[in-house]
Amino acid sequence: MALIVEEKYVELARLLGLGRERGYVLVDEILEVLPEEVATLPEELDEIFLRFSENDIEIIDSPEKLAALEEEPASERPGPVEVVPGPSAVDPAMLEKTNDPVRMYLREMGTVKLLDRNGEVSIAKRIESGEADVFCALASSPRVLELFLRANEIARRDRRMARDILAGLNSEMDERGQTRLAEAIRVFGRIHKLDQEWNLIKERLRKCKRGTRRAEELAAEVDQMSGDISVQVRSTDFTTATRNRLVRFLNEVERQFSIPVQTIRKDERKLKTERNAERRTYYEERIKRYRDELKVIEDRFGVPYEELKRVVGEVRQGEQETDSAKQQLIVANLRLVVSIAKKYTNRGLQFLDLIQEGNIGLMKAVDKFEYRRGYKFSTYATWWIRQAITRAIADQARTIRIPVHMIETINKLTRTQRQLVQELGREATAEEVAQKMEIPVAKVRKIMKIAQEPISLETPIGEEEDSHLGDFVEDHSAVSPIDAVIAASLKSQADQVLRSLTPREAEVLRRRFGIGDGTEHTLEEVGKAFNVTRERIRQIESKALRKLRHPNRARLLKPYLDMIG
């Protein structure tokens, strides 16, 4: 890949050499040596940025970063301190070139260094340590632990706010919930025991002289104990949703404690400086009242405030450490998402949408990654990223959603059709495809029908694109011009023939056959309109029809029999 990129853009070879000397290059310098059209090709930019990263050359995209780098001591710089003179401010013309969101994203992404195996392990250990801190904090306080586990069991079956769930903690749980609660308490008990042993070993290691054999043995024990705690943590039923509930519940419990606690502290400060006896009595009574209220809350939750405060602080610190490490691992692997997303372009989703879905898969991979298994994170994450992208294409690319299993069948059918075209030199029939796939012909036709892509009626037609597909679709509800002319002519001739009858005969025929308004009436209905019997109407109708059968009148209507028949 390096040779291809450098052969395409000869100036990049010079820039790579310059970057190796000083340890960095400016984004402006890269873009200056590239043709204008390359800025719109994310694949090309990705390969170029990756080439610089492979050579441990930092890509700097802002004057502030360059200034900070120039202020570093010479010993800390990645290369010699000589810097090629350049503009101190961002070129306005360059800002116009960065309007493309893909290019802006790749520019920012290219400034992040790639991680090696040791870097991945280091970050994974930080994630593991943060998670262990959260679980050990919970395990160190059985009362806080049981409070949360009870609330969590209620939340499993009842989607209510944390405040409402905490109000009903004393409600009875079903047998399954009781079993899960007891098992979770046992697991956290083991975590607490391991945590105590872990802290003892770390204390011994701290007191031991570094570099000795005993120190190495203790360090190995610390690592082993950390792994044991991690195994216990993984064995718990703590999903991401459960961890989020933990933070919400602890925040809500602390909030209910906070009002009396803050009021007591504020009044105690005022009491120290207050000289008025009446005001002092007021503050003393209010402090006593809020202390009683605090005691009621502690009894209700079964947790002293100081213990809860300690656990909440440790949980937040562990969560912060975990989130920070996960964020670092995600950002360092964004280029992996782009490289995979490039292979799925032109399948119904925009390139940025593919990147977004791939990033979601990357975040799931970070949550699931276990560095102790020995494989690189990129190997593991690739499968999650591909799965997220392919599922998004299956769910979102088509106007009419097709199930994932049917998408796979359609892809298999497409591959078979392509193979048969190469073998036969023509398009294969449904029977030939069915024989090749060893499935019924009816199923092949069904799959081919499902695979058809919907097309917009506004699709332009012709070279000038002055008409649309919808203009050529037949409207079965519309009357054709020929039928309209025939209907108008027939109405004119019928009116002329009816005028040759008496007014009463003409009106009876109009009502009986729905001439004019299209509604046919019965003999009784017509008789009521003329205030005569139905028999009299029948006689008038028969007489009028006999008159119409006369050749002079019939010849006017006879040509229309074949047209409307």
Which is nearest to 264 in space by CA: 309, 310, 304, 295? 295
pLDDT at 362: 93
Beta carbons within 8 Å of 254's beta carbon, 6+ residues apart: 308, 309, 312
Which CATH number fits the domain that encloses residue 428? 1.10.10
pLDDT at 466: 78
pLDDT at 343: 85
Of 195-199, 281-285, 301-305, 542-546, the one with minimum mean pLDDT is 195-199
48 touches 12 (CB < 8 A) = yes
Residue 145: both structure tokens together: 């632990």
More confident: 543 or 94 = 543
Residue 375: both structure tokens together: 């494989």
Residues of 257-271 as b/e, b for ≥16 C-beta within 10 angstroms?
Answer: beebbebbeebeeee
Domain boundary among 65, 94, 113: 113
For helices 142-157 and 117-139, angle between their N-to-C axes, nearest 10 degrees: 100
Q: What is the mean pLDDT of residues 197-219?
A: 74
- Sole residue written with tokens 């992404």: 109
> Is position 389 within any domain?
yes
Beta carbons within 8 Å of 366's beta carbon, 6+ residues apart: 127, 326, 329, 330, 381
State how far the alpha carbon of 396 is from the alpha carbons of 180, 355, 361, 363, 401, in Å. 38, 14, 16, 20, 7
Q: What is the mean pLDDT of residues 127-153?
A: 71
Residue 364 and residue 425 in one domain:
no
Residues of 525-561 as b/e, b for ≥16 C-beta within 10 angstroms?
Answer: ebbeeeeeeeeebeebbeebeeebeeeebeeeeeeee
pLDDT over 70 at 459, yes or no: yes
| Cα Rg, the chain, nearest whole Å | 41
Residue 392 and residue 315 in one domain:
no
Residue 129 and residue 92 in one domain:
no
Residue 154 and residue 73 in one domain:
no
Residue 16: both structure tokens together: 């790579």
pLDDT at 445: 92
Instruction: Place 146 in a pLDDT band, splitting at 50, 70 and 90.
Output: low
pLDDT at 156: 54
CA distance 444 to 432: 10
Q: What is the mean pLDDT of residues 401-410?
A: 82
Residue 36 and residue 108 in one domain:
yes
Instruction: Place 170 in a pLDDT band, splitting at 50, 70 and 90.
Output: very low
- For the chain, give the number of residues: 565
CA distance 137 to 33: 55
Residue 147 and residue 109 in one domain:
no
| Residue 25 parent element (H or E) | strand 24-26
Residue 7 and residue 99 in one domain:
yes
Residue 195: both structure tokens together: 């945590």
Residue 175 and residue 317 in one domain:
yes
Q: What is the mean pLDDT of residues 417-429?
A: 90
CA distance 507 to 501: 9
> Is position 283 within any domain?
no
> Is position 105 within any domain?
yes
Residue 339 and residue 376 in one domain:
yes
More confident: 117 or 160 = 117
Domain boundary among 98, 113, 128: 113
pLDDT at 37: 52
Beta carbons within 8 Å of 24's beta carbon, 6+ residues apart: 57, 58, 59, 60, 69, 78, 79
| Residue 556 parent element (H or E) | helix 551-557
Instruction: Place 355 in a pLDDT band, splitting at 50, 70 and 90.
Output: very high
Residue 140 and residue 202 in one domain:
yes
pLDDT at 288: 87
What integer best gives the mean pLDDT of the chain? 75
> Is position 248 within any domain?
yes
Q: Residue 245 is which amino acid?
A: R
Instruction: Place 84 in a pLDDT band, splitting at 50, 70 and 90.
Output: very low
Of 22-31, 62-71, 461-470, the one with minimum mean pLDDT is 62-71
CA distance 261 to 269: 13
pLDDT over 60 at 278, yes or no: yes
Q: What is the mean pLDDT of residues 147-162?
A: 56
pLDDT at 186: 66
For CA atoms 544, 547, 553, 558, the dihedral sign is: positive
Domain boundary among 55, 85, 113: 113
Overall pTM surpassing 0.85 (yes/no): no
Which CATH number fits the domain that encloses residue 546? 1.10.10.10
Q: Angle at the Cα of 244 (from 243 to 247), degrees rounded to 5?
A: 90
pLDDT over 80 at 214, yes or no: no
450 touches 408 (CB < 8 A) = no
Of 71-75, 76-80, 352-356, give the range with the top mean pLDDT: 352-356
pLDDT at 160: 46
CA distance 388 to 406: 17
Which is nearest to 16 in space by CA: 42, 45, 41, 51? 51
Residue 318 and residue 436 in one domain:
no
Q: What is the mean pLDDT of residues 470-479?
A: 80
Q: What single DSSP character describes residue 319?
A: H
Q: What range defines the domain where residue 527 resides?
A: 484-564
> Is position 33 within any domain?
yes
pLDDT over 80 at 162, yes or no: no
> Is position 238 within any domain?
yes
Instruction: Place 76 in a pLDDT band, splitting at 50, 70 and 90.
Output: very low
pLDDT at 70: 56
CA distance 339 to 47: 9
Residue 244: both structure tokens together: 């989020």
pLDDT at 286: 86
213 touches 219 (CB < 8 A) = no
What total of structural domains would you count in the chain?
5
DSSP string, 223-241: HHHHHHHHHHHHHS---HH
pLDDT tens-digit readout, 220-254? 777 776 666 666 665 565 666 666 777 777 777 77
Residue 170 and residue 312 in one domain:
yes
> Is position 464 within any domain?
no
> Is position 73 within any domain?
yes
Instruction: Place 434 in a pLDDT band, splitting at 50, 70 and 90.
Output: very high
Percent of the chain with pLDDT over 90: 7
